Amino acid sequence: MCACACVCTVAAGDVSIWDFSGVKSYYVTYDKFLGDPNAIYLLVVSYEDSEAERRRQIDFWLNFIATRMIPVEPIGKSLHFCGFV
């Protein structure tokens, strides 16, 4: 089941929260959402699963997200940006 919540906060502006629950039938839609450098990803696993299963799930999702990210230079890497050069 996919759930979506859209809220507006004074400090952050418009915020969309999408919960796909890791359902395989939604994997094809993830490319529309994953890879945004401004997004925050929250990975949740169940402690009812074994440690090995949780590690497998975490490895899968971190790899899944990482392969869809567009490489960008970290903000702090540029000394020109910080005004030091």
Q: What is the pLDDT of residues 3-56, one digit of tens each?
A: 555 555 666 667 777 777 777 887 777 777 777 777 778 888 999 999 999 999
Q: What is the pLDDT of residue 85?
A: 47
Q: What is the pLDDT of residue 47?
A: 92
Q: What is the pLDDT of residue 22?
A: 74
pLDDT: is 63 or 13 the higher one? 63
pLDDT: is 7 or 70 the higher one? 70
Label residues 23-40 b or e (16+ Cβ within 10 Å = b): eeeeeeeeeeeeeeeeee
Q: What is the pLDDT of residue 6?
A: 55
Q: Is the pTM of this model over 0.75?
A: no
